[in-house]
Structure 1
Amino acid sequence: MDYDVAVSFAEEQRTAVEEVVEVWRQRGLTVLHGPDQTHEWWSHKESGDLPDARVRFLLPFVSSVDDFTAAMLRAVRAGDEHVLPVLVGDTVVPADLLHPHVTYLRDVAEELTEALAARVEAAEAAGRDRAPVAQIVSRAKEFAPVTATVPASFSRYAEQDAALRYLGEQFAAAVPGLERRGFAGTVHVGDTRIAVRIERAGDTVYALDIQRGGIGGDETVNFVVGRHDAGSACSNGWARPIYDLDAGAAVLELHDHSVLGRGAEPRSYSREALFAALWQRINAVLAATVG
């Protein structure tokens, strides 16, 4: 039997996918969809056990990249026109699985339906044949994983700039809220240094300088806790921008001597996670001050 589309989904997406499939059918699209046809179901079926159907597109709903969805994404990267991934929520496709010239669909119900209908109509107008769904799945499984590499556009200094800018914005937004707890806070954001000072009745109870460059190199972000002489060479930890191949994104590798109090083993943080950890540490210190 011929269909416009077939769908594959993760177990937790079942209800949402059933709802959008019903919208597609009301729109006039024919859909191969079974309640058990999850990513796991598709991935464990041999070619001869897969549905005997031809489809214009196979739509895997991607909320996280597991073995099956990675195979589907590799198929797209290799130029398979019958695989059409739908990215769920704010899902980000790892750089090594992205096709630079493909626009991926998002699971916004009305927009997704119209975009899918337009893709089906375009395929019909171009005279592109349907393909056996078993062939689409089996072929995708044959693509070997691509060895991840650091993108040529990755820049430690650009990531350093972005980290300093983000941390400065977050501290400037968060520190005024300490007044409700009986503290006075100031944040000075300069080109090369962020100075965070927290006082109680005029006494400094916490000081943090975040500096461009330091003992780890001029591309790092250096952290100095406590008041110190200007220009003195000291560090309570430093972070170097690196590219995480597994995550497909830039992160900050923190060498923590004492800024978070978590030991010397390097640990990777996104900008958001690093600010959250720094702020949690500050709050712990302030709680001990009034405890």
Structure 2
Amino acid sequence: MSDRETYDVAVSFSGAQRALVEKYVRACQALGLSVFYDKDVATQIWGRNFITEFRKVYGQGIARYVVPFFSREYLGGPYPMDEYSAALTSSIELREDAYILPIMVGDVKVPEELLSSATHHLNAEHWTVEELAKITAERVRSTGPASATPVPATPAPGVLLPRIAPGSFSPYEALENALSLVGKRFQANAGVLERYGYTCRVRTPDHAVEVRVEQRGMPVYGLQVWFDESYRQDRLAVGYGAPSYRGSAKNAWATAEWDKQHEEARLKFTDGLQGAGSTLLTAEGFFDALWRKVVLYIEQIHR
């Protein structure tokens, strides 16, 4: 699966609703819509991490609209909720309220923090799949083409292409996007530590993310990510361990480079304290690595 692909619609659903969703997908495709549906890309993602691949679709604007089929199983499933989290973050970044087009299945109540009660939705029980597909097609066509920028032509099989970064690749932009995602992910996950007796406070000043972990009101751990302007190239500096926001020593850093194998921007993350060399990570992987440091600290002090 390539970042060059675009879709009119990406469906997100629980496996319990697969039969319904597949009928909807086929009805949309019959109307000429391009739909992202996991079974249709099974051979393309074979051998790849499907979680990170799907996050590109739901969270990086590859699809014009995301249609989640909310059900009780959906809200209780880790994979559909990960897809929805990526879509929700994208809708905030795009400042597009109608990026997510919700469909309710059965008697389900979506928490207010996930979907405002003021957001209009459709009920699967009130419409046939053909009617839902027609409504979707009308929405897609009413908003014109997916992008004013032409999508590059897909090369014919066997055509040799240069394995270099595209002219639009900007290391600074890649780092800026990663920093923004890290801030949003920390803010979204901070509350889960409270059940273990910890408070995670997150600040996102200009070009930085500051995380402070407290136990009974006392700071016990800190993590900071910021643009390192003292270095000869654009990079993010990381300081972790010290409870204070300010004055964190640099003990890890990340630069951006083009990953030829996956044809996307990735972060070259080097952890100076771990001494394990550098690792190429997606922005999501970069957040996972930083969040893991907080979790491991909490686990270590309770051994």
TM-score normalised to the size of structure 1? 0.50
More strand by share: 1
Structure whose CA Rg is larger: 1
